[in-house]
Amino acid sequence: ALKTIDQLPANAFWEDIQERINFVVAVRKGLRELDEGKCIGHDKVKEEFAEWLTD
């Protein structure tokens, strides 16, 4: 987390820090879920997008 914060500009606001940390947490969670096999296949995602776009 400190490395992530150090990469922000010196004039970053609290919201910027919070947003960056939330992003890193979400990416790590997603990678962990992929490792655990908890993912949706490419074809299923395409189906869902097609449904969303036609509703």
Tokens of 31: 């990678």
pLDDT tens digits along 27-49: 999 999 999 999 888 899 999 99
Quickly state the pLDDT bin for 2 (edges 50, 70, 90): confident
Tokens of 42: 């490419």
Domain ranges across the chain: 2-7+14-54
Tokens of 36: 């655990």
Tokens of 50: 């097609």
Q: What is the secondary structure of 1-55 as a DSSP string?
A: -HHHHHTS-TT--HHHHHHHHHHHHHHHHHHHHHHTT----HHHHHHHHHHHHH-
